[in-house]
Amino acid sequence: METLRKVAPTAEINSTHTVFRTYDGTKLTPAGRVKLSVEFQGKSKILSAFVVEGNYPLIFGRDWMDYFNISFTNVNILKNQDISIPKSSVGALVVRFANVFSDKVGAIKNYVCSLKLQNDATPVFRKARPVPLALRSKVEGEIDRLVQENILKRVESADWGTPVVPVVKPSGDVRLCGDYSCTLNQYVIIPQHPFPGFEEVFSSLTGGRHFSRLDVRSAFLHMPVCPETAKMLTINTHKGLYEPQRLMYGVSAAPTTWQRYVDQIFHPIECCVVHDDIILTGRTTEEHLQRLEQVLTVCENNGIHLNHAKCRFFEEEVTFLGYRVDAHGVHKTNEKVAAVLNAKRRENAKMVKAFLGLVTFYGRFFPQLATCARPLYNLTKKGVEFKWDRDCEVSFEKIKREIASDRVLTHYNPSLPITLATDASPYGLGAVLSNVVDGKELPVAFASRTLSDTEKNYSQIDKEALSIKWGVFKFFHYLYNQRFTLITDHRPLVQIFGSKNKLPLLSATRMLHYALQLQIFNFDVKYRKSELHGNADALSRFPTTSEELQHMPQDEATILQLRQWETLPVTPQQVARATAHDPELKQILEALRMGTSLGEGDLKFSIHQDCVFNGIRLYVPTALRARVLSELHDGHLGIVKMKALARSYVFWPKLDKDLENLVRSCQECNLVARNPPRVTVHQWEKACHPWHRIHADFAGPFQGHLFLLVVDSYSKWPEVFLVRTTNSAETIKHLEGLFTRFGYPVIIVTDNDTAFTSFEFQNFVKQYNIRHTTGAPFHPATNGQVERFVSTMKTGLRRLCGAPGTIQDRLNRLLLSYRRAPHPTTGRSPASLMLGRELRTMLDVMRPSLLGELQRDVNRPAVSKKFDPGERVAIRVYANPNKKWQFGSVLNRDGELNYSIQVGSDIVRRHVDQMRSVSKSIRPTEVPPIRKSLPHDIPARNSVPPPLPDPSPRTRRSTIGPAIRASQGLSSESAPDRPLDAAPSTPPRTSLGPLEPGPVEDATAQDGIRRSQRNRRIPDRLQYE
């Protein structure tokens, strides 16, 4: 009754017949019943209350708890507020600063936030994520509210696109957070600014009698951003693209940017500002009110709005970062160490080993802990009976107190690296929050809980994922807006929770749901072996009671079902309803029902179950086309296959154009698209002389070596050097030696290797006035001249791998052969074009001079072939591509060059050039190897030519002429009398010396028939004596 007179002195008391019984059975008759306005967690209701005589504390009954959806198991104690606090003064301040307590988000004055990106930043666009149907209306309402408050602006296109993650607040409202971890955060430069430390926070609260805690409404959304930053913050929702005009939640630079600003404006006031909380106190009530007025004034002058429902004024105590602060000082709460202190005794050796894992993990902080744990270690020995005696109990309790003492626990410091270790056992979850100091994890708080009956049926990976999600939200106030490291001993979760691009498509739906909830946090995931993960593992194996299970989020099965509804296909009923409301289809539908004409194409339309068809294709209304397009593109097929698939099922005007636009705008398709069609090959300008333009490149490591290759563009002359490294100094050393032999080129072409793009190499080419040209990165065709020789060199060295000698010996053999052989592009050898002469090789040493042979070349009789009847011959086969020769016997000679051959039972005709003589012993199935015969006009080396008469001058000219023509490399056109099967000419001569006349035979004295009757005579200009 006395409390009622202080709280609501004018309340009307109504009579009641209700009688209560106290816990000891005593009857208690209330004085009456009143209607009171009750406010709890921002919600106000008019509720009935019973009034009893006397001065008793207020009791928050179960019926009131039902009205506010409060879990009975989660209530420890509800305290009534000290009524001696001058509420009138607080109320006056609230009325005076009514604009500060506005329901809308404020806008900071005279400040614009500009985010800085790294130099290599490139725009990233991610598609919108589906929103569960249960949250869709709330998300759309929040988007509309932010648009009305000019916080979001609708845009049609953007280079950046970040998906949003809806976060449900305890009040049921939704906060939109951007998942910038997969887009912007990887490029943002985070400004350096310290967060308030433990000592700084609590030193400002020491000595106060009462405490006030103010909550800033949507803190980050207060900060306007510049137009460039707004484009980078663009969010992609199921309603389209929106450009934020304020700093969004989820940006990695947002916490430090906000903290730096509020530290500046609240610096003159004795208060503590951490994130979106403003905590203040005073030694007296007047001082407290004065500071509260100063804070509200600063808020009003800078455009900061507070959430009145979350603000608490003149509280007797305040809990912050796991510590309780009141008029008597700062006190540790048992919440941080309850998981350790409430651990129950172990029941078997395996559970004792798990507990000893915790001892081992933190044993480095006090060496005597291992000695204290000796009785427990004895229980784990093999062959020892498990018996929990008094020594084990004493050791167990002492270890728990030591781990929970200040010698192990440390104060939370947000400026130090933060780690969260989580683990799951078959019956519990464990989590340890730590600060890393000098590479050691110092625990800040412990937490554990048992699994519900449903959770115990989860697979182990689902339990491990649940422990991560539960641990992060358990220490929400420590981890939100902080960068921290998540440690798990389950490796697959590193990819699921640590992906910065997109969630793995093949992950289970439950884990994807957990991962989406954690997108609002900024963390890295690391794997640690189980034997090194003793702190979290031990907590998961002796969890505390499951008092949190009663107020966990909604049942997971419901969430999974809501996510499945989003992917259901379009039904005919939906098509019919959308068709009835579609302006374009509505006219066609009415015309079909009335039988009126639609024009030339009216015969192709029909109606079935209130749906319009174009032939057998469904005419999709406008409202459903986006979903149909998404279904058609579900497998990310190309444009051609999508069009073919769509034309089998659906129709609407400009369907092909919509499909093309969809594929062009699909990020996944563009990321894996093929290269565009190659443009016409651009030819290098032809070099005008040797060593005009050279091409250089590195090859290897190949066969354990690195190579520097240089190829002359004009002659194709190659140079190859074995190098130890590909740096600029090594490259310049070899090029300088090369230039001393051939001179300095006009142009040198290379790729973009650092050896060629370095400052040292650039100075080198400038020193000798050499123009340096490089191609585009990853486009070797620009330097194709040397790239092609790289392949040739590697192929040749592979073939010579069994040859004796060093790699340099094999390389020399390859280069000599390549330089001497005619090049397919020029038709001449690189040596002849580069040096003006051919290189003398072993082939030249082996072959005798053909000069004397060429003098007898002119009148050599033609070689004739003749086969006798009955002779065994091989004839060419043309009907069977797999068989080249066939054997038979000569029957008749049908002419000078044609024969009839008996092949089995058949008689065939063949030209003499299609026949060859074989041994009679060859069976029909054998095919002798084909040996290329020597040219007919080159006699064997051991043959003795017949004596020739003395030549006359006329004869000398006619016989020496072909040799001269051959020695000068004249074409066949200039020497028409040369036989087609004559021996190859001698290498070109740079100068023509006198030829020694030898005994030759006049053409008219030669026996036999000549192949040509033309006069063999050289031009007069070539005749000399």
pLDDT of residue 565 exceeding 50, the answer is no
- Contact between 855 and 998 under an 8 Å Cβ cutoff? The reply is yes
Q: Considering only the C-alpha atoms of the chain, give the largest distance between any 2 of them, rounded to a whole number of Å.
A: 161
Residue 561's pLDDT band (cuts 50, 70, 90) = very low
For 806-841, write each residue's pLDDT tens digit.
889 888 888 988 888 888 888 888 999 888 888 888
Q: What is the pLDDT of residue 953?
A: 45
Can you tell me the mean pLDDT for 446-466? 84
Per the DSSP assignment, residues forming a β-bridge with 85 are: none
Q: What is the pLDDT of residue 977?
A: 44
Evaluate the CA torsion angle 797, 801, 807, 812 in order and state its sign: negative
Distance CA 731, CA 710 (A): 11
Q: What is the pLDDT of residue 934?
A: 39
For 837-860, write each residue's pLDDT tens digit.
888 887 777 766 655 555 555 555
DSSP secondary structure string for all residues of 169-182: -TTS-EEEEE-GGG
Q: What is the pLDDT of residue 591?
A: 79
Can you tell me the mean pLDDT for 893-919? 88
pLDDT > 70: what percent of the chain? Answer: 71
Distance CA 696, CA 736 (A): 13
- Spell out the domains of the chain, with CATH numbers in brackets: 2-80 (no CATH), 90-332 (3.30.70.270), 338-564 (3.30.420.10), 572-671 (1.10.340.70), 693-836 (3.30.420.10), 948-1025 (no CATH)
pLDDT of residue 80 exceeding 80, the answer is no
Q: What is the pLDDT of residue 72?
A: 54
Tokens of residue 149, six digits: 């408050």
- Higher pLDDT residue, 339 or 234? 234
Can you tell me the mean pLDDT for 598-606? 66
In three-state secondary structure terms, 155 is strand
Q: What is the pLDDT of residue 605?
A: 80
pLDDT of residue 202 exceeding 80, the answer is no
pLDDT of residue 632 exceeding 60, the answer is yes
Of 290, 91, 221, 250, nearest to 163 by C-alpha is 250
Residue 478's pLDDT band (cuts 50, 70, 90) = confident
Q: What is the pLDDT of residue 283?
A: 84
Evaluate the CA torsion angle 269, 270, 273, 277 in order and state its sign: negative
Q: What is the pLDDT of residue 146?
A: 92
For 98-109, write each residue's pLDDT tens digit.
899 988 899 999
**Three-state SS letters, 974-993:** CCCCCCCCCCCCCCCCCCCC
- Terminal C-alpha separation, the chain: 150
Residue 775's pLDDT band (cuts 50, 70, 90) = confident
- Higher pLDDT residue, 226 or 385? 226
Can you tell me the mean pLDDT for 543-571? 45
In the predicted model, what is the mean pLDDT of the chain?
76
Can you tell me the mean pLDDT for 126-132? 83
pLDDT of residue 503 exceeding 80, the answer is no
Residue 89 has a CB neighbour count (10 Å cut-off) of: 17
pLDDT of residue 1001 exceeding 70, the answer is no
Q: What is the pLDDT of residue 559?
A: 34
Q: What is the pLDDT of residue 983?
A: 44
For 249-279, write each residue's pLDDT tens digit.
888 888 889 988 998 998 888 888 888 889 8
Tokens of residue 715, six digits: 């002659």
Least confident residue range of 27-41, 202-216, 1008-1022: 1008-1022
Q: What is the pLDDT of residue 107?
A: 92
Q: What is the pLDDT of residue 55?
A: 61
Most confident of 133-137, 321-325, 976-980: 133-137
pLDDT > 90: what percent of the chain? Answer: 12
For 359-395, write each residue's pLDDT tens digit.
666 655 555 666 677 777 777 777 777 778 787 888 7
Distance CA 965, CA 971 (A): 8
Can you tell me the mean pLDDT for 756-774? 89
- Higher pLDDT residue, 561 or 302? 302
Least confident residue range of 217-226, 746-755, 795-804, 987-996: 987-996
For 17-56, write each residue's pLDDT tens digit.
787 776 555 677 788 888 877 777 667 777 888 888 766 6
pLDDT of residue 646 exceeding 80, the answer is yes
Most confident of 297-301, 322-326, 489-493, 858-862: 297-301
List the beta strands (DSSP E) in 803-932. 872-876, 885-893, 898-903, 906-911, 915-917
Can you tell me the mean pLDDT for 59-75? 68
Of 109, 115, 101, nearest to 188 by C-alpha is 115
Can you tell me the mean pLDDT for 969-984? 43
CA 478 from chain center: how many Å?
30
- Higher pLDDT residue, 848 or 1005? 848
Phi-psi region at 486: left, alpha or beta (left = phi > 0; alpha = psi -120 to 50): beta
Q: What is the pLDDT of residue 448?
A: 79
Can you tell me the mean pLDDT for 675-699? 75
Q: What is the pLDDT of residue 301?
A: 92
- Higher pLDDT residue, 762 or 635? 762
- Higher pLDDT residue, 951 or 411? 411
Packing angle between helix 807-820 and helix 784-799, nearest 10 degrees? Answer: 120
Of 430, 407, 450, 409, nearest to 354 by C-alpha is 430
Can you tell me the mean pLDDT for 135-142? 87
If 0-12 CB within 10 Å is exposed, 13-18 middle and 19+ buried, where does residue 942 land?
A: exposed
pLDDT of residue 745 exceeding 90, the answer is yes
- Contact between 258 and 223 under an 8 Å Cβ cutoff? The reply is yes
pLDDT of residue 948 exceeding 50, the answer is no
pTM: 0.43
Residue 86's pLDDT band (cuts 50, 70, 90) = low
Residue 793's pLDDT band (cuts 50, 70, 90) = confident
Residue 190's pLDDT band (cuts 50, 70, 90) = confident
Of 233, 254, 248, nearest to 190 by C-alpha is 254
Q: What is the pLDDT of residue 560?
A: 33
Q: What is the pLDDT of residue 234?
A: 94
Tokens of residue 337, six digits: 């160490």
Helix, strand, coil % (nearest 5) of the chain?
35, 20, 45
Can you tell me the mean pLDDT for 753-757? 86
